Amino acid sequence: MINCIMRHEFRYQLISWQSLFIGSLLFGIAFIFTANGVEFQGTARGGNVFINSPYMIAKFLILMSILSVFIAPSYLANAILKDHDSKFDGLLFSTPINKTDYVVGRFLGSFLAFAVVIAMLPLGMWIGTHWPWVVEGTLGEGGISQYVQVYFTMILPTVFIISALIFAMTLAFKKIIYAYLMALLLVILFISVDISTAVSGIVDPFMGDLYGRHTEYWTAAQRNSTMLTIEGDLLINRLIWVSVAVVLLVAAYITFSMRTPPKQPKVNHKQAGSETKLKALVDLNADITSSWHSNSHWLQLVHCLKFEMNAILRSVPFLILMSLCFFLLFFSLTGRQTVYDVNTYPLTRFMLSAIQQALTGALMVILAFYSAEVLWRERRSNINGVMDALPTPNWVFVVSKVGALVAMMIAVVGLGVLMAIILQLVSGHYDLRLGEYVYRGLVYYPIAYIYLAILACFLQVLVNNRAIGILLFIMFIGLLSLSRDILGVEHMLLSYGLPGVWAPLSEMNDNSDLATAGIWLRVYWGAMAGVMLMLTYMFYTRGTSQSMRFRLKKLAAFRTKGYISIFAGLMLVFISSGSFIYYNTNVINTYRSSLDLDQINLDYESKYQQYSQLPMPRIVDVKIDVDIYPIKRRVETRSTQILENKTGEPISTIHLVFPIQASVVSVELEGATIAFIDKPLAYYIYELDQPMLAGEQRTLNFETLVTRRGFENNGQDIRLVRNGTFVGNNLLAPRIGFYDGLLLRNNKERKSYGLKPLSRMPAIEDTHEHHNSYVSHDSDFVNFETTVSTIKGQQAIAPGYLTKQWTNNEREYFHYKMDKPIMNFYSFLSADYMVAHDEVNGIDIDIYYHKTHDFNVARMLESAKDSLNYYSKAFSPYQYKQLRILEFPGYQTFARAYPNTIPFSENMGFVTDQRDPQQLDLPYYVTAHEVAHQWWAHQVMAANAQGGTMVVETLAQYSALMVAEKKYGKHKLRQFLKAELDRYLRGRGSESQGELPLYKVENQPYIHYRKGSLVMYALKDYLGEDVINAALKRFVKNHAFKSQPYALSTDFIGYLRDEAGPEYATLIDDLFTKITLFDLSFEQSTVQKMDDGRFKVTLSIDASKHYEDAIGNVTAALLDLPIDIGLFTRHPSHRDFSESDVIQLDKQSLKTGTSTLEFIVDKQPLFAGIDPYNKLIDVESDNNIGEVELIEE
């Protein structure tokens, strides 16, 4: 009988038009994503990963398996509810079918049908790889067997878990809302793992987090060839979830009964007595007449709205839902981490961002399910006939149901706001900014979801199918989220209802200008939502099910003056607000899509690359006046620059390339006439009246204007703001000659346009580029002088020394001049600042900060002092008499070192919460890094060649590490080194072209920052700090303030070899010139107490070394190297670990393979390990340390 019921259920579910529609939709999604190979490949975290690799197949199918949650209730819940809701169960259960046959048969049949539908995903992927438009080079070897293996090992178990859980909930409660609640729980668990490191990946039912953790260090070669084995915590995850699913399924089976005894009405004697008294007062024979007036429909709306809100807000499922959201919000609100897992202070803007991060996905899922719940409640309960017969218009039902959804969303968001305020107060932060909570948290943010609620209801009414309505809504959201990459939809006018343009908050720039575009979008989409609400009302089904043709004909009944007026009014708002948005984005500002930007690059290359080898003069002197108008978002620039011919040959033409974001007001070049102007590309060609001879100088005068009117398609320009304007010379001044930075850099896109690939940087052997710095091709060190003006009440700051300050016409003027040449790399800032001052060795240190951001100013001052002291002694004297750190709004999260001036994002260190002494001191470290750039960039500048960022960034990392080690000790740096190791290994999988050795790094942050830190610290550990600093001192002495040529990474390596001697030649090669990785692991360790009270420790470890090529192919190498071996009383990763926990830490010579070591120590170790501080690049560093087992005598 089980087999019979199963086959019937399977056929019933599978051959329905619903399955045909959903299966086709899933097939189409997978097919389009795969066939659209370049975009699909981009999601692989590295362009060298094939779209049909095991990694990509698993990654995509795991992600898409989340869709199965939204589909599952239509199969598994329907298998139970179709009998219950139609009251057929009484008749069915009177037949000889027993409970086991019924439950098992229904479950297996619906599960198998559901599994077949989900199987359309891998099928669509596989067929997509055979489509003719798949880009060449994106496919690897492998057939359908890979898709089958991934489906059966990773996806089918997930489908079973989801099926069992939803079937169990439906079987137990006989209500669809509990099936939805289980689906919501699964999605919220997925989201919680994604937003918080405090939540273990074990609780993720889709296994996406664990899969990501297991593969995050994989190289492209591994991702293209390796199928992940389900073992370890992956297997534990599957076993736990299958067990939970089976237990709940069994529990639901036990509680399920096929008997449906009639319910006996409860007698309420108190109520009966009241009814008797009431009958005595009421004349039952009186005539009753109805009373109807103009407010009746509104009274009905109030009543229905109250009913719908109570049905949701007072229900048990909603209380459970709020509990789930509580935990989701808690993890997000308490995990406000910046880099290196350092928390920020609980500022209101961070709390609002955390609320949005936690609830964005959750609210969409909630809307998907609850829109179906509120619109199908009456039909599911079989009272729709009664309700539809009532003299109540459709709009009352529709508005009340939408209103209930809105109330539910505001309740969820309100919970987040309340939790945020409580957490702020508990943490001792009392600057609550309640206005931001009310406006951003309860108005601006939820409005977008009101529009999505209307969309969800519209789709439910339109398709008149609960499951398909849910799926279409989720698919619509997914397409909107991916519309830029997949569909090429980039204009804000085409992205319905999503939260809209980026509108971040900042205490420093405390105004709502950045939200202007979002406000107008809400008006625009609000009008469209109103039209959709009207259509929902018009299509709303009453009575028996109606065909689409019938409902379309019914629209004719709404062609009345009232409806037409409302529709016309909404369309007027829609068109007028859309026109205003278009006017801002496309008329007073220039709208450029990604294709437009690509075309600019292509045009630039096709027209002007022919001039790339023309000799050009260089800028040697800069005088620039900059007027900043923060309120108007306007910057006016007037500049005189002196150009000098340093080429050794005559120059007859000079080419200028202005930034396209600026308007060129005037240009005048001494002894030259304009020969050509390309205004769209801002390219100017001047012919000289007389050739410019070697050593000759000419004067260039120009004026530019940068202004922002209205708002652009991507929101506001975050550089020009009311308080905290920050602009660099690349936005204000032209470049001399052809600039290759304007070429199309993405090689896959270049291939699609028929262009040859470009290298990221010129080869280190290219001697021509040795005469260009990597920040500028048209200048070396220049004389610099500027006058900057701004509005009254703000300070304008640029590199140089302040020589004069005055006020004129309600504007503040500041004159700065450098006393020695600097790189042609400078910036201008304007803000209302507080100033903290200190000095060290006669050097003035000033930190310009926002008045409420004094949290870490003392740390930053201390770091600046320590850094200037250390670097001046270790490398060379500091070249300036002052150092300034300047805060700018946190719309961008970086710090950047200009000559004696360091702009520093408010998010980068000013607002990090350093009250926990055990966490990394981020403000201290980042300050030390940026101060180091006054040596590594502003004394020694790298050539425009491979390895350039090693000279500038890697050496700054080393310098900051030394300062931090002096402050906190080497044991404290383990946390930093571990983070750098993890980020380097993760970055390798994201590599789009190929990894290079450190000395050839091509501006690849995961190499020059992350690997660079590890390499330099390991080198210091082996060679000694004095040896490294001696090499650096020679490097500075021979290359400081020099150009023609600039410094190379090989120059530093040469000094390093000289100082280190030949014994370290292999180590230096391994660290700098090869991609070298180690595989170090703890095997086992025992300790035994000796008669003299000391302890004998035996430690078994395994060690090996290998080399890898650009994409991760491995070549084994012999290991012969001393490596740290440590014995500890506490695990080095423990937050309270300190130097007192170290029993022994020294280097032991190791060779490839397993080694057994013995130590005699005075204290009993609890932990032992190899390379415990993560100095070497270990492919799996989590297994380096283990517990020491005590052997009793």
Q: How far apart are CA 950 and CA 747, in angstroms?
A: 23
Domain containing 896 — which CATH number? 2.60.40.1730
Mean pLDDT of 467-485: 82
**Residue 47: pLDDT band by 50, 70, 90 thresholds?**
low
pLDDT at residue number 277: 58
Pairing of strands 634-644, 618-629: antiparallel
**Residue 389: pLDDT band by 50, 70, 90 thresholds?**
confident
8 Å CB contact between 627 and 650: no
Number of domains in the chain: 5
Classify residue 513: in a domain, yes or no: yes
Classify residue 707: in a domain, yes or no: yes
Lowest mean pLDDT among 258-262, 424-428, 694-698, 1113-1117: 258-262
**Residue 43: pLDDT band by 50, 70, 90 thresholds?**
very low
| Percent of the chain topping pLDDT 90 | 70
Q: How far apart are CA 862 and CA 856, in angstroms?
A: 10
Q: How far apart are CA 650 and CA 107, in angstroms?
A: 86
The one-character DSSP state at 1156 is E
Q: Compute CA distances 790 → 436, 628, 720, 733, 794, whole Å.
A: 28, 5, 12, 19, 7
Domain containing 1034 — which CATH number? 1.10.390.10
Say whether both 88 and 166 belong to one domain.
yes
Say whether both 956 and 893 belong to one domain.
no
Classify residue 197: in a domain, yes or no: yes
Say whether both 123 and 169 belong to one domain.
yes
Instruction: Fill in the amino acid letter for 499.
Output: P
Say whether both 538 and 682 belong to one domain.
no
Say whether both 1050 and 1099 belong to one domain.
no
- Flag whether pLDDT at 651 surpasses 60: yes
Classify residue 263: in a domain, yes or no: no
Q: Tell me how far the alpha carbon of residue 1042 is from its chain's centroid.
A: 40
pLDDT at residue number 585: 92
pLDDT at residue number 761: 92
| Higher-pLDDT residue of 715, 739 | 739
The one-character DSSP state at 855 is T
Q: How far apart are CA 584 and CA 523, in angstroms?
A: 15
Classify residue 1144: in a domain, yes or no: yes
- pLDDT digits over 328-339, tens only? 999 899 887 677
Residue 33's Cβ-count burial label (10 Å; 0-12, 13-18, 19+) is buried
pLDDT at residue number 279: 58
Classify residue 291: in a domain, yes or no: no
pLDDT at residue number 906: 93
Say whether both 1034 and 1090 belong to one domain.
no
- pLDDT digits over 166-196, tens only? 999 999 998 889 999 999 999 998 888 877 7
Q: How far apart are CA 43 and CA 29, in angstroms?
A: 15
Classify residue 1138: in a domain, yes or no: yes
- Flag whether pLDDT at 859 surpasses 50: yes
Residue partners of 144: CB distance under 8 A and separation at least 6: 126
Q: Compute CA distances 1026 → 44, 869, 1056, 1060, whole Å.
A: 43, 16, 11, 10
How much is the mean pLDDT over the chain?
A: 90
pLDDT at residue number 147: 95
Say whether both 17 and 111 belong to one domain.
yes
Domain boundary among 1040, 1072, 1104: 1072
pLDDT at residue number 1062: 94
Q: How far apart are CA 565 and CA 568, in angstroms?
A: 5
Domain boundary among 1072, 1088, 1110: 1072
Mean pLDDT of 706-712: 90
Q: What is the DSSP string of 1054-1075?
A: HHHHHHH-GGGHHHHIIIIIS-
Residue 270's Cβ-count burial label (10 Å; 0-12, 13-18, 19+) is exposed
Domain boundary among 1056, 1072, 1088: 1072
Q: How far apart are CA 989 and CA 984, in angstroms?
A: 9
Greatest mean pLDDT among 12-21, 342-351, 855-864: 855-864
pLDDT at residue number 45: 46
Domain containing 1085 — which CATH number? 2.60.40
- pLDDT digits over 617-639, tens only? 999 999 999 999 999 999 999 99
Say whether both 1037 and 1085 belong to one domain.
no
8 Å CB contact between 1156 and 1052: no
Q: How far apart are CA 652 and CA 693, in angstroms?
A: 9
pTM score: 0.91
Mean pLDDT of 423-442: 92
Greatest mean pLDDT among 20-24, 307-311, 341-345, 1048-1052: 1048-1052
pLDDT at residue number 49: 86
- Residue 998 belongs to domain spanning: 760-775+941-1072
Structure tokens, 884 = 């300034």
- Flag whether pLDDT at 88 surpasses 90: no
Say whether both 946 and 1049 belong to one domain.
yes
Say whether both 666 and 531 belong to one domain.
no
**Residue 143: pLDDT band by 50, 70, 90 thresholds?**
confident
Structure tokens, 1122 = 């001393």
**Residue 44: pLDDT band by 50, 70, 90 thresholds?**
very low
| Higher-pLDDT residue of 288, 299 | 299
Classify residue 1048: in a domain, yes or no: yes
β-pair partners for 683: 657, 678
Say whether both 312 and 371 belong to one domain.
yes
Bond preceding residue 157 cis, omega within 30 of 0: no
8 Å CB contact between 374 and 400: no
- Flag whether pLDDT at 1077 surpasses 60: yes
Mean pLDDT of 266-281: 55
- pLDDT digits over 489-507, tens only? 788 888 887 655 667 889 9
Find where tokens 């060190």 sit.
781
8 Å CB contact between 40 and 132: no
| Percent of the chain topping pLDDT 70 | 94
Q: Compute CA distances 735 → 404, 619, 683, 830, 1186, whole Å.
A: 59, 9, 10, 24, 57
Say whether both 430 and 498 belong to one domain.
yes
pLDDT at residue number 266: 53
Helix, strand, coil percentages in the chain from 3-state DSSP, rounded to 5: 50, 20, 30
- Flag whether pLDDT at 792 surpasses 50: yes
Lowest mean pLDDT among 65-79, 545-559, 1056-1070: 545-559
pLDDT at residue number 948: 96
Kindly report the backbone phi and psi dihedral angles of residue 527, in degrees, each rounded to the nearest multiple of 5, phi listed first: -65, -40
The one-character DSSP state at 545 is -
Q: How far apart are CA 301 and CA 253, in angstroms?
A: 42
β-pair partners for 816: 786, 802
Pairing of strands 651-657, 901-905: unpaired
